[in-house]
Amino acid sequence: MKENMISIGLDIGTTKIVAMIGQTNEYNKMKILGVGKSISLGVHRGVVNNITQTIQSIQQAVSEAEGLSGIKVGGVTVGIAGQHIRSLQHSDYITRENSEQVIDENDIEKLINQVHKLVMLPGEEIIHVLPQEYKVDGQAEIKEPIGMYGGRLEANFHVVVGQVSSIRNIGRCIKSAGLDLDGITLEPLASANAVLSHEEKEAGVALIDIGGGTTDLAIFKDGIIRHTAVIPFGGNVITEDIKEGCSIIEKQAELLKVKFGSAWPGENKENEIVSIPGLRGRDPKEISLKNLSKIINARTVEIIEQVYLEIKNYGHEEQKKKLIAGIVLTGGGSQLKHLKQLVEFVTGMDTRVGYPNEHLAGDTDKNVTSPLYATAVGLVMDGLSKIEKNNIENTEFENSVDESEVSETTFENNSEEIEKKPEKKIKRESFLDKLTKNLQDFLDNAE
pLDDT of residue 409: 45
Q: Tell whether 285 is covered by a domain.
A: yes
pLDDT of residue 421: 42
pLDDT of residue 51: 93
Q: Tell whether 229 is covered by a domain.
A: no
User: In CATH, what number is assigned to the domain containing residue 253?
Assistant: 3.30.420.40
The domain of 255 spans 235-299
pLDDT at residue 114 above 50? yes
Number of domains in the chain: 1
Q: Tell whether 239 is covered by a domain.
A: yes
Buried b (16+ CB within 10 A) or exposed e, 353-389: bbbbbebbbeebeeebbbbbbbbbbbbbbbbbbbbee
Measured CA to CA in angstroms, residue 282 lies from 245, 254, 277 at distances of 19, 20, 8
- How large a percentage of the chain has pLDDT more than 70? 90
Q: Which amino acid is located at 215 in the chain?
A: T
Q: Tell whether 264 is covered by a domain.
A: yes
Per DSSP bridges, beta strands 152-163 and 75-80 are unpaired
Cα separation, 333 vs 344, in Å, equals 16
Instruction: Return the SS3 of 212.
Output: coil
Q: Give the tens place of pLDDT for each residue, 374-433.
A: 999 999 999 988 888 877 777 776 676 565 554 444 444 444 443 444 444 445 566 667
Q: Tell whether 287 is covered by a domain.
A: yes
Cα separation, 247 vs 381, in Å, equals 43
Q: Tell whether 218 is covered by a domain.
A: no
Buried b (16+ CB within 10 A) or exposed e, 40-51: bebbbbbbbebe
Q: Tell whether 396 is covered by a domain.
A: no
Q: What is the mean pLDDT of residues 94-100?
A: 90
8 Å CB contact between 233 and 214? yes
Q: H or E element: which one contains 327?
A: strand 327-330
8 Å CB contact between 275 and 307? no
| Burial of 398 (C-beta count, 10 Å sphere; 0-12/13-18/19+) | exposed
pLDDT at residue 36 above 70? yes
| Mean pLDDT of the chain, nearest integer | 86
Q: Would you tell me how many other CB atoms lie within 10 Å of the CB of residue 407?
A: 15
pLDDT of residue 431: 60
pLDDT at residue 268 above 90? no
Q: Tell whether 259 is covered by a domain.
A: yes
Per DSSP bridges, beta strands 327-330 and 351-353 are parallel
Q: What is the mean pLDDT of residues 131-154?
A: 92
Side-chain-side CA neighbours of 100 within 13 Å: the count stands at 0
Buried b (16+ CB within 10 A) or exposed e, 105-122: eebbeebbeebeeeeeee
DSSP state of 118: P
Cα separation, 350 vs 352, in Å, equals 7
pLDDT of residue 428: 53
